[in-house]
Amino acid sequence: MKGIPPGSAEYIPGKNELAAAVGVTPDGKKMLLACADRSIFVQRFGGPFNAETDAAAVLKLALVTPDCEGILINSAASEHTIVIPRARIDELLARTKTPA
């Protein structure tokens, strides 16, 4: 896979499984890596986009990833990163639920 930071383990997901790279921030936190702005990513960087999924799936993946301390979302549109701490993931997942 392209774009996986050095030192990250590569995991090949099975059928109907989602996997993501885990990076380490400068202060040592292990974060699930995600990218926003897919269309701009393709325009700016070309090459393949590893996977595309919705926010709820990424949030759930962070919860089941051992030692994951949150999600690091990198913007392709600008040099900005948004950090979602693990402590906020349950709250954000609750917001994604649609009323019955």
Return the exposure string of 46-62: e unless at least 16 CB atoms fall within 10 Å of the residue's CB, then b.
eeeeeeeeebeebbbbb
Q: What is the mean pLDDT of residues 6-16?
A: 55
pLDDT at 76 over 80: yes
Q: Which of 25-29, 38-42, 78-82, 95-99 shows the lowest mean pLDDT across its residues?
A: 95-99
CA–CA–CA angle 83, 22, 5 (5° rounding): 105
| pTM of the entire predicted model | 0.72
Q: At what angle do helices 55-64 and 86-96 cross, to 10 degrees?
A: 140
Q: Where along the chain do its domains lie?
A: 22-96
20 or 29, greater pLDDT: 29
Tell the burial category of 32 from Cβ atoms under 10 Å away from its Cβ (0-12, 13-18, 19+).
buried
Give alpha helix (H) positions in 1-100. 38-45, 55-64, 86-96
Place of tokens 């030192």: 7
